[in-house]
Amino acid sequence: MLNIDCPYCGPRAESEYRCGGESLIQRPALDCSDAEWADYLYTRNNPKGVHIERWHHVHGCGMWFNAARSTVTHQIFATWGMTDPVPELPE
Amino acid sequence: MTRYGALSLLRGGLSGQTNWQPAWREPAPKSGYDVVIIGGGGHGLATAHYLAANHGITNVAVIERGWIGGGNTGRNTTIIRSNYFFPQSAAFYDFSVRLYEGLTRALDYNIMFSQRGMWMLAHDRHGLEMLRRSANAMRLNGVDAELHDEAGVRAAIPQLNPNPRFPVLGGLCQPRGGSARHDAVAWGYARAASAAGVHILQNTEVTGFRIAGGRVTGVQTSRGEIGCGKVGVAVAGHSSVVGKLAGLSLPVQSYALQAFVSEPVKPCLDTVVLSPATGTYLSQSDKGELVMGAGLDLFLSYAQRGSLPWMEQTAAGVIELFPQFSRLRFLRQWAGICDVVHDSSPIIDESEVAGLHFNCGWGTGGFKAIPAGGWCLAHHLATGEAHALAKDFGFARFRTGALIDEAAGAGIAH
Ligand SMILES: Cc1cc2nc3c(=O)[nH]c(=O)nc-3n(C[C@H](O)[C@H](O)[C@H](O)COP(=O)(O)OP(=O)(O)OC[C@H]3O[C@@H](n4cnc5c(N)ncnc54)[C@H](O)[C@@H]3O)c2cc1C
Ligand SMILES: [Zn+2]
């Protein structure tokens, strides 16, 4: 069971949250090519290592926030608000 | 290759079991092959077998980082079925079921395919409507399907809780569905491929590609560089990682799916039961263990272990439908890393790097597809053209929008 530190509520059990996938994705301009649009919709980082992702405290305060988590150990290095700058992270 | 059968058993008995050969060879890597397959799971091994058996291409290596069948092929709940919605999927997966039906003979290896039927249950009116839609789609696609009311379900599965919290309103049965021995599928393909001349290189990791003028010409491995004409990548949850080695970004995400078995008991369940609403996926193995599948942990993971919440939820679902199993204990728990694509349909195609092919996107359901996945990738590698059954399962669909959305169509929960 992951222990996830909501920036608003503090540490809570994994079962209170939903993961919203990769974060910091920018929507391309609407006149972009089909390939760029496909990339935006479907291509994901999927790293074996640190992943920056969105979490939703769905059974808590209802807020979205960012987390940096290892996809190998599941260790969470930082959580921060949606519009806050990305903190220093390990590689 | 000595054929397995009553005669070789008899000979073994008379000669003190000294006549048995290893099922596949452990050769030293050559400096190059016509085709290199990365990933010694079911799909990679089946591809190698069909390259040899269907196309006469035997200068082939299967490169496996660990041991063959140690990935999802040896970790799955072994359910085989073809109850998909769209015509392309139905044609593809039903071809796979038909190949499974003849596989024990074709490979001379008992894969223990048991067509004990597979049931999908509905617990509310909407679930029942979805089942009716599925049954109609399956029949239109020429796949066997039977829709039953509650009495029909209970006649086939009398063990069901007589008074469940979520009533059983009906069920969809695919009589040709069932289960097979997963290790035997990997080993059977490996044995047949090896006998045809294919090199199976275990404990060998691919760490990079040699690419010249946009075309793949070799792979770097933990045992040195190996040249090749073409490459087929069938590494499931590691597709993105291997793709990145060639500079490719794939529409794949990796999630852990876990499963459990109970302690073994005498035969008590002779079919496969899937109840999406209660999160139950249950069958009994020939060893007697109840085999239980969970859902995906919906955050990216390369750790081959599952989370506790799903373990609890799966147990709760099983006990809700079969209260008598509440006294059984979990014997083992494990997970595999699944290659999930947005439309829950596979990708069997050549990539932007010429000669570099992928077979991935199987997600939580690619065991049933092993024969057809290998057949179609072998066809593409050998002929340079996508197989008719796989032509819609390419990379182009993400650009054109022609997705084959089985996530919605067949209600694949993940
Ligand atoms: C718990 C669970 C239950 C499932 N239940 C079912 C089911 O009931 N029915 C069904 O149809 N499907 C099921 N599936 C899905 C099914 O198991 C997979 O889709 C299928 O086995 C994929 O086969 P594969 O050959 O593509 O991958 P794998 O069997 O995972 O093989 C890939 C291989 O590639 C190797 N590899 C990775 N990277 C490298 C590298 N760099 N170099 C060399 N080798 C590498 C790995 O070591 C691995 O052995 C389930 C999966 C899981 C995890
Ligand atoms: Zn919160």
pLDDT in tens, A24-77: 999 999 999 999 999 999 999 999 999 999 999 999 999 999 999 999 999 999
User: Would you say residue A52 lies in a domain?
Assistant: yes
User: Residue B225, exposed/middle/buried by CB under 10 A (0-12, 13-18, 19+)?
Assistant: middle
Residue having the nearest C-alpha atom to atom 18 of ligand 1: B366
Residue having the nearest C-alpha atom to atom 9 of ligand 1: B79
**Res B213: pLDDT:** 97
Alpha helices in B56-149 (DSSP H): 87-101, 103-107, 125-140
Backbone angles phi, psi at B62, to 5 degrees: -105, 120
Range of the domain at A59: 3-81
Contact call for B303 and A72, based on CB within 8 A: yes
Contact call for B253 and A38, based on CB within 8 A: no
Q: How far is the CA of B389 from the CAs of B51, B88, B392, in angstroms?
A: 17, 7, 8
Q: What kind and span of H or E run contains B193?
A: helix B182-195
Per the listing, tokens 């069958």 go with B283
Ligand 2 centroid–CA A15 distance in Å is 12
Contact call for B241 and A69, based on CB within 8 A: no
Going by C-alpha positions, the residue among B32, B56, B86, B121 that lies closest to residue B321 is: B121
CB distance B44 to ligand 1 below 6 Å: yes
Q: Which residues contact B404 (CB under 8 A, 6 or more apart)?
A: B86, B88, B89, B343, B345, B392, B393, B397
A47 touches chain B (CB under 8 A): yes
A38 touches chain B (CB under 8 A): yes
Would strands B290-300 and A3-6 be described as parallel, antiparallel, or unpaired? unpaired
**Res B345: pLDDT:** 97
Nearest CA in chain A to B303: A72
User: Would you say residue A87 lies in a domain?
Assistant: no
Report the alpha-carbon distance of residue B94 to residue B81 in Å, rounded: 8
A36 touches chain B (CB under 8 A): no
Structure tokens at B105: 């003979």
Q: Which fold has domain B115-177+254-339?
A: D-Amino Acid Oxidase; Chain A, domain 2 (3.30.9)
Read off the pTM.
0.97
Backbone angles phi, psi at B344, to 5 degrees: 55, 35
Going by C-alpha positions, the residue among B203, B233, B237, B242 that lies closest to residue B67 is: B203
Whether residue B361 contacts residue B346, with contact meaning beta carbons closer than 8 Å, is answered with yes
CATH of segment(s) B31-114+178-252+341-414: 3.50.50.60
Q: What is the DSSP string of B26-64?
A: -PPPPSEEEEEEE--SHHHHHHHHHHHHHH----EEEE-
Instruction: Give the number of other CB atoms < 10 A from CB of residue B330.
Output: 15
User: From its phi and psi, is residue B335 left (phi > 0), alpha (psi between -120 and 50) or beta?
Assistant: beta
Distance of CA A59 to the CA centre of its chain: 17
The strand pairing partners of A11, in sequence order, are: A5
Domain boundaries, chain B: 31-114+178-252+341-414, 115-177+254-339
Contacts of B238 in chain A (CB under 8 A): 48
CB distance B77 to ligand 1 below 6 Å: yes
**Amino acid identity, residue B28?**
A
A40: distance to nearest CA of chain B, Å? 10
Q: Looking at residue A18, which CATH number applies to its domain?
A: 3.30.2270.10
Ligand 1 pocket, mutate which of B38, B49, B73 (most atoms under 8 A from CB): B73
Structure tokens at B333: 């728990």
Structure tokens at B124: 């509310």
Q: What is the DSSP string of B351-378?
A: -SSBTEEEEE--TT--STTHHHHHHHHH
Contacts of B300 in chain A (CB under 8 A): 46, 51, 53, 71
Ligand 1 pocket, mutate which of B72, B223, B239, B375 (most atoms under 8 A from CB): B72
Q: Which residues contact A83 (CB under 8 A, 6 or more apart)?
A: none
Positions in chain B short of pLDDT 50: none
Question: How many domains are contained in chain A?
Answer: 1
Which ligand 1 atom minimizes the distance to the CA of B259? 1
Backbone angles phi, psi at B225, to 5 degrees: -85, 145
Contacts of A56 in chain B (CB under 8 A): none
User: Would you say residue A86 lies in a domain?
Assistant: no
Ligand 2 centroid–CA A47 distance in Å is 26
Going by C-alpha positions, the residue among B17, B121, B194 that lies closest to residue B411 is: B121
Contact call for B299 and A19, based on CB within 8 A: yes
Size of interface A-B (CB pairs under 8 A): 57
CB distance B365 to ligand 1 below 6 Å: yes
CB distance B235 to ligand 1 below 6 Å: yes
User: Would you say residue A24 lies in a domain?
Assistant: yes
B25 touches chain A (CB under 8 A): no
Partner-chain residue, chosen from A19, A42, A69, that has the shortest CB–CB distance to B251: A42
Report the alpha-carbon distance of residue B15 to residue B334 in Å, rounded: 40
Would strands B60-63 and B199-201 be described as parallel, antiparallel, or unpaired? parallel
Q: Which residues contact B36 (CB under 8 A, 6 or more apart)?
A: B60, B61, B63, B219, B226, B228, B230, B231, B232
Ligand 1 pocket, mutate which of B205, B284, B364, B406 (most atoms under 8 A from CB): B364
User: Would you say residue A77 lies in a domain?
Assistant: yes
Residue having the nearest C-alpha atom to atom 13 of ligand 1: B365
Instruction: Give the number of other CB atoms < 10 A from CB of residue B82.
Output: 28
ipTM surpassing 0.90:
yes
Partner-chain residue, chosen from B241, B250, B307, that has the shortest CB–CB distance to A48: B241
Whether residue B15 contacts residue B361, with contact meaning beta carbons closer than 8 Å, is answered with no
B301 touches chain A (CB under 8 A): yes
**Res B414: pLDDT:** 52
Report the alpha-carbon distance of residue B167 to residue B146 in Å, rounded: 20
B309 touches chain A (CB under 8 A): yes
Report the alpha-carbon distance of residue B15 to residue B193 in Å, rounded: 27
